[in-house]
Amino acid sequence: MRTTVRLDAALLDQAKREAGRRRVTLSALMEQGLRLILAQSRTKSHRKRVILPVSRARGGVLPGVDLNDGSALLGVMEKRG
């Protein structure tokens, strides 16, 4: 089937180079790409939904820990490890 597709000139040039590198036609490259995208969208819908656990812990940071100071936080973590 023939159809007209409008593509960005840079994308078209890149696709033509890739088709040449793979030694396939531009149409074959585009078909393969569409098939991959369509197959991915089908597999994503079949994945189980993951429910992340929620921590119910109370408390806070250790005394002297400043979460805004990354290097100090790293120092505290290294001392505890």
62, 72 contact by CB (below 8 A): no
Q: Where are the domains of the chain?
A: 9-45
pTM of the model: 0.51
Residues 55, 49 contacting (CB under 8 angstroms) = no
Residue 33 to residue 15: CA distance in whole angstroms: 10
24: phi > 0 → left, psi -120 to 50 → alpha, else beta; which?
beta
Question: Which pLDDT belongs to residue 46?
Answer: 65
- Can you give the length of the chain in residues? 81
**Successive 10-residue mean pLDDT values, the chain, 81 residues:** 92 97 96 92 71 83 80 81 65
Amino acid (one-letter) located at 9: A
Rounded CA gap, 7 and 16, in Å? 12
